[in-house]
Amino acid sequence: MKVQYDKSADVLYVTLRKQDPKQCRFVENENGDVLKIDRLTGHVVGVTIIAFLLRINRGLEVNIPEIRAIPFAEFAKNITGHNTSH
Amino acid sequence: MATQKAGSRGGKKSKVVKKKKPPKQPIELATTDWVGNTVVLYEESWLHIQTEHGITDLSGVQNAIHSPMRVRECTVNYCSTAYAHETVIPSSKEHLRVIVHYPENENVIAGKSIGSVKTAYPVDYTSPSRVGAVIYEDANSTLPPPDKSK
């Protein structure tokens, strides 16, 4: 895991697994943080935490998602675009 | 008999410690947003945006800030005032979302504030936005209609 802090913007970049950003899609979670998701596997490979120090100083929670295994059907759907579960 | 030098305590010379000013951050981009606020993108932030989010077109970021097709008012991120500026990424199914933070709410509407780019990333047309509600839509926007989720 690699953690980089952008102090000029107060943004924390957490890399859980190195992956080319072109192979990833980006979605926001309920806190407005940006999840970097591997298109092929569906794994969260990174997270961008906005207003990191501000939140820490206010005692707010900062969540870093765990790397999770996904079911085969979901994995296949990511690759083929078709739902294989019946 | 031990002697003590003038201006020292316990044999150590006293030092006047000057408080250092924080170094100025190099700016990669300075532009104006859709209502005339100045927006800066720091070099450090731009490096992170390129390496972590794969956005390499600086003119695209400038275009999203200056002439956005859509602007959302961020209701998350715990910033006092932040907006998401959106525009298309040519020949892509994604569009560019640039998060800009402004320190003062009142001056933002008047176009007299100075904002800074927090981050920028590509988002899929189909994924719902959790950033906040749309507050501006350009008449010539070619973005698909915004989702109703927020």
Residue-wise pLDDT tens digits, B93-135: 889 999 999 887 678 888 889 999 999 999 987 777 778 888 8
Is B147 within a domain? no
pLDDT above 70 covers what percent of chain B? 81
- B43, B25 Cβ separation under 8 angstroms: yes
B32–chain A Cβ distance below 8 A for any pair: no
What are the DSSP E strand ranges found in chain A? Answer: 2-6, 11-15, 24-28, 34-38, 44-50
Instruction: Give the tokens for residue A75.
Output: 């994995």
- Answer with the residue of higher pLDDT: A48 or A85: A48
A26/B122 touch (CB, cutoff 8 Å), yes or no: yes
Q: Cα torsion at A19, A22, A25, A30 (round to 10°)?
A: 70
Is the model's pLDDT at A12 over the cut of 90?
yes
Q: Which chain A residues contact residue B129 at CB under 8 A? A: 28
Q: Tell me: pLDDT of B148 over 60.
A: no
Which phi-psi region, left, alpha or beta, contains residue B102 (left: φ > 0; alpha: ψ -120 to 50)?
beta
Residue A4 binned pLDDT confidence (cut-offs 50, 70, 90) = very high
Of B48, B99, B129, the CB nearest to A6: B48
The residue with greater pLDDT, A49 or B143, is A49
Q: Is B146 on the interface with A (CB under 8 A)?
A: no
- Give pLDDT, residue A73: 57
What is the domain range of residue B84?
Answer: 23-137
- Give the model's pLDDT for residue B150: 45
In this predicted structure, what is the pLDDT of residue B12?
A: 62
Query: Does residue B5 form part of some domain?
Result: no
**Rounded distance between C-alpha atoms, residue A43 and residue B66, angstroms:** 34
Model confidence at A77, pLDDT cuts 50, 70, 90, reads low
Number of domain units in chain B: 1
The pLDDT value recorded for residue B149 is 44
B131 in A contact zone (CB under 8 Å): yes
| A36/B53 Cβ within 8 A | yes
Mean pLDDT score of chain B: 82
Find the CB nearest B76 among A10, A25, A31.
A31
Inside any domain, residue B4: no
Sign of CA dihedral A64, B85, B83, B22: positive
Q: What are phi and psi of A65, to 5 degrees?
A: -65, 150
User: Could you give phi then psi for residue B125, rounded to 5 degrees?
Assistant: -55, -35
How big, in percent rounded to 5, are the helix, strand and coil portions of chain B? Answer: 15, 35, 50
